[in-house]
Amino acid sequence: MQENDRDLLPEGLGDRLPQQAWASQTVRRAAHDVLASHGYARVETPVLEFEKALAHRMAGVQVRRMFRFVDPVSMRMLALRSDITAQVARIAATGLAQAPRPLRLSYSGQVVTIKGDGLDPARERLQLGAELVGADSTEAVAEIVELAIEALRAAGATGVSVDFTLPDLVDTLSAGALPLPSMNIEAVRQMLDAKDAGGLVDAGGEAYLPLLYAVGPFDSAIEQLAAFDVGGVLASRIAALRAIAARVGGKARLTLDPSERHGFEYQSWFGFTIYADGVPGSLGRGGTYSILGQTGRNPESATGFSLYPDPLIESLSAAAGEERRLFLPLGHDREVASRQRAIGWVTVAALSEADDALALGCSHKLEGGEAVAL
Amino acid sequence: MQENDRDLLPEGLGDRLPQQAWASQTVRRAAHDVLASHGYARVETPVLEFEKALAHRMAGVQVRRMFRFVDPVSMRMLALRSDITAQVARIAATGLAQAPRPLRLSYSGQVVTIKGDGLDPARERLQLGAELVGADSTEAVAEIVELAIEALRAAGATGVSVDFTLPDLVDTLSAGALPLPSMNIEAVRQMLDAKDAGGLVDAGGEAYLPLLYAVGPFDSAIEQLAAFDVGGVLASRIAALRAIAARVGGKARLTLDPSERHGFEYQSWFGFTIYADGVPGSLGRGGTYSILGQTGRNPESATGFSLYPDPLIESLSAAAGEERRLFLPLGHDREVASRQRAIGWVTVAALSEADDALALGCSHKLEGGEAVAL
């Protein structure tokens, strides 16, 4: 190994230098302020815990994507958290089991996976979200979708769009109007997800073909879905989607992709993905789900979203403006300097005669008690 | 294993429920705002990286206290960070090697160790700090000590006190006025650290006995140290300590313990520990140190501090006040609600007729466009 090798960071792990870290702080503060103003109380969770506890509360948590190792203290397997939602579900089911419902919680923190996700090599990401525990109604979904949009806009995202989906659509239809042999259900799901009409027919899902056209801008796609739903099995869901769209449509572009499944492994009747202009890929997703209770307690319904704002942070950091920095010469009046900070200046104190105000990024210098432009 | 075992968190790892998480956010924001106002730019570092990189930059980093495991991607050893200072040193020596000096950086994040520290079983802690890279002068130290005090006070600490130490005191004295056989140096250090007069004599350190009395309130202890320093080997350090005390003495109680070593394994000429009223144990420490450069580059001097604010967060969370929470009945005017949030209300929207404003912690209810006390 070369000496310099020691400085390399592992693949998919990186630092945020000042501009990126500034953008990261800005995004987190703005989003949390929005969540707090809607009554979502912040919780914080450990970066590692028992593997079993992380995997236990929700379907679809992929243990094999987590870093796992033996705890020398307990001799049990620990894992680095790859999803904070599962930890918040644990808190809701244990420490806050007795808190009144609906319970509104928010969180943010770093999550880690062994490998990156698809084309994105990152193994560590910021996750920031909100969970509304004890409700998965149309009202709950509307609040959560609206909150996700508002949090992203406050964090600096523009041109937000939201794609709605119905994660258990095939289950619902095949149990009702459009029965399928149970051995074909998974294949039909996959072909719908892949938008593969030929494959759908081969899987015995001809009757599901119209779903491939109920995709796109919300207003037209929901009409296609309603026309397809001749038996009315989906009527309550379609009405719910329309109500949610009416509530949030003024704040974001809406689309519908009723059979999209990727990323919604633990969602129940509703799911959504959120995007913003100029930011590659999605910024997060959410929906309704179920939290397993303590032994002997029933599962609890919940609605929530998780944002992964790293691409937004990258795009905002490129646009970071210059701050007003005031150079304080050696022997400056410390009271005056303190007053300048109180009115918003960032001050940079000289430590020796060699310190160069311009090199240190200062736009002004304290002279005779005043900030003078350099 | 019992079913409920799955919910237990590993020893030394825990959640922060809403009051604690609120206090944690308050502390971090207040401290970072102080650091930013003094020109310290925030950086963020990964929660894990190559073990060698974490251990390499600074003396005294204890690899065996870190969680370590093989990275399935690189097949090299990774470690969870146990100290962010070493990561910031890496950034200063690599990504920001060309940035002008002095370089001011700040950071915060969770750090993890395999075992707790002494009586404290916690294995995960919040670390928050500032590093002034390229300077370890009296001016640099004064800025860093003052900043640590100001950050803690802004975060809500009261009755802050600071204990100064001279980490390389025995090396300096034994190389000068009070020579020691090299085989005795470590024993003398240990006996001074333990305040063990008998042991000190046994270790051949009789001449060092007066140091045991140069301890306590700064003004008297520094006089003892000056009286002891008949040869003047310590004259420049004593002058520096007096200058630093003059600068920060108005903001904190100051004490001196010149031969304290614990926790200062990588400090050079100056170290300090910081405390606050009503908070058990210390809240952090800092001092001057050296950052190893890239191959072929010289080490760089630096000054910094690390706070571990968890005990402060605990004490502040107990004092968390009630917030003003406004209940929004079903069918409320959404524009009015938005205006109420804009003027500082936390709103809690009803999702169904069953939602109970009082149970949900609301003090007021929106009625006829007004906030009415419940």
Residue A137 burial (C-beta neighbours within 10 Å; 0-12, 13-18, 19+): middle
- pLDDT greater at residue A273 or residue B8: A273
Overall average pLDDT of the B323-348 stretch: 93
Question: How far is residue A103's CA from residue A289's CA, in Å, rounded to a whole number?
Answer: 14
- φ, ψ of residue B12 to 5 degrees: the values are 85, 5
Mean of pLDDT over chain A: 92
A84 close to B (CB below 8 A): no
Give the Å distances, CA to CA, from A322 to A316, A328, A346, B99, B306. 13, 18, 11, 16, 28
pLDDT for residue A3: 42
For residue B100, the 8-state DSSP code is -
pLDDT above 60 (res B36): yes
The CATH number of the structural domain formed by B3-167+261-318 is 3.30.930.10
A9 close to B (CB below 8 A): yes
pLDDT for residue A261: 80
pLDDT band at A217 (very low <50, low <70, confident <90, very high): very high
pLDDT above 50 (res A2): no
Question: How far is residue A178's CA from residue A172's CA, in Å, rounded to a whole number?
Answer: 9
Give the Å distances, CA to CA, from A260 to A29, A140, A168, A219, A227. 32, 21, 10, 18, 19
Q: Pull the structure tokens for residue A110.
A: 């770093």
Give the nearest partner residue to A16 out of B43, B294, B346, using CB atoms: B43
Angle between helices B235-248 and B138-154 (to 10 degrees): 30
Q: Are strands B300-307 and B284-291 parallel, antiparallel or unpaired?
A: antiparallel
Domain residue ranges in chain A: 1-156+277-306, 325-373
pLDDT above 90 (res A358): yes
Condensed to tens digits (0 to 9), the pLDDT of residues B348-364 reads 999 999 999 999 999 99
What number of C-beta contacts closer than 8 Å exist between A and B? Answer: 234
The CATH number of the structural domain formed by A1-156+277-306 is 3.30.930.10
Question: How far is residue A310's CA from residue A283's CA, in Å, rounded to a whole number?
Answer: 8
Of A66, A309, A9, A4, the C-alpha closest to B46 is A9
Residues in chain B: 374
The Cα of B235 is separated from the nearest Cα of chain A by a number of Å equal to 21
Overall average pLDDT of the B309-326 stretch: 87
CA B217 to chain centroid, in Å, comes to 23
pLDDT for residue B245: 98
pLDDT band at A295 (very low <50, low <70, confident <90, very high): low
pLDDT above 90 (res A8): no
Decide if B220 contacts B255 (C-beta within 8 A): no
pLDDT above 90 (res B297): no
Of B324, B338, B342, B330, the C-alpha closest to B367 is B330
Contacts of B337 in chain A (CB under 8 A): none
Q: Pull the structure tokens for residue B127.
A: 């670390």
Question: How far is residue A317's CA from residue A311's CA, in Å, rounded to a whole number?
Answer: 10
pLDDT band at A92 (very low <50, low <70, confident <90, very high): very high
- φ, ψ of residue A262 to 5 degrees: the values are -55, 125
Residue B8 burial (C-beta neighbours within 10 Å; 0-12, 13-18, 19+): middle
Q: What residues of chain A, 92 to 151, have a C-beta less than 8 Å from chain B?
A: 93-96, 100, 102, 104-105, 109-110, 112, 114-115, 123-124, 132, 135, 137, 139-140, 143
Condensed to tens digits (0 to 9), the pLDDT of residues B175-195 reads 888 999 989 999 999 999 999
Q: Mind spelling out the 3-state secondary structure of chain A?
A: CCHHHHHCCCCCCCCECHHHHHHHHHHHHHHHHHHHHCCCEECECCCEEEHHHHHHCCCCCCHHHCCEEECCCCCCEEEECCCHHHHHHHHHHCCCCCCCCCEEEEEEEEEECCCCECCECCCEEEEEEEEEECCCCHHHHHHHHHHHHHHHHHCCCCCCEEEEECCCHHHHHHCCCCCCCHHHHHHHHHHHHCCCHHHHHHCCCHHHHHHHHCCEEHHHHHHHHHHHCCCCCCHHHHHHHHHHHHHHCCCCEEEECCCCCCCCCCEEEEEEEEECCCCCCCCEEEEEEEECCCCCCCCEEEEEEEECCHHHHHHHHHCCCCCCEEEECCCCCHHHHHHHHHCCCEEEECCCCCCCCCCCCCCEEEECCEEEEC
- pLDDT greater at residue B38 or residue B117: B38
A352–B135 CB contact, under 8 Å: yes
SS3 B306: strand
Condensed to tens digits (0 to 9), the pLDDT of residues B138-179 reads 999 999 999 999 999 999 999 999 999 999 999 999 988 899
pLDDT above 80 (res B60): no
Single-letter residue type at A167: P
- φ, ψ of residue B328 to 5 degrees: the values are -110, 110
Of A168, A167, A92, A102, the C-alpha closest to A135 is A102
Q: Pull the structure tokens for residue A60.
A: 């679809």
ipTM over 0.85: yes
Best of A147, A291, A351, A364 to disrupt the B interface by mutation (most B CBs within 10 Å)?
A351
pLDDT band at B3 (very low <50, low <70, confident <90, very high): very low
Q: At which residue do the structure tokens 């499944």 appear?
A: A261
Condensed to tens digits (0 to 9), the pLDDT of residues A318-342 reads 877 677 899 999 999 999 999 999 9
Overall average pLDDT of the A281-303 stretch: 88
- φ, ψ of residue A41 to 5 degrees: the values are -90, 135
Decide if B274 contacts B162 (C-beta within 8 A): yes
With a CB cutoff of 8 Å and minimum separation 6, the contacts of A172 are A166, A233, A234, A237
A321 close to B (CB below 8 A): no
pLDDT for residue A177: 84
pLDDT for residue B53: 85
Angle between helices A138-154 and A18-37 (to 10 degrees): 150
Quick one: what percent of chain A has pLDDT higher than 90? 81
pLDDT for residue B251: 95
pLDDT for residue B230: 82
Overall average pLDDT of the B43-61 stretch: 84
Decide if B84 contacts B111 (C-beta within 8 A): yes
HSE-CB at B81 with a 13 A cutoff on CA atoms is 26
Overall average pLDDT of the B319-341 stretch: 89
The Cα of A196 is separated from the nearest Cα of chain B by a number of Å equal to 34
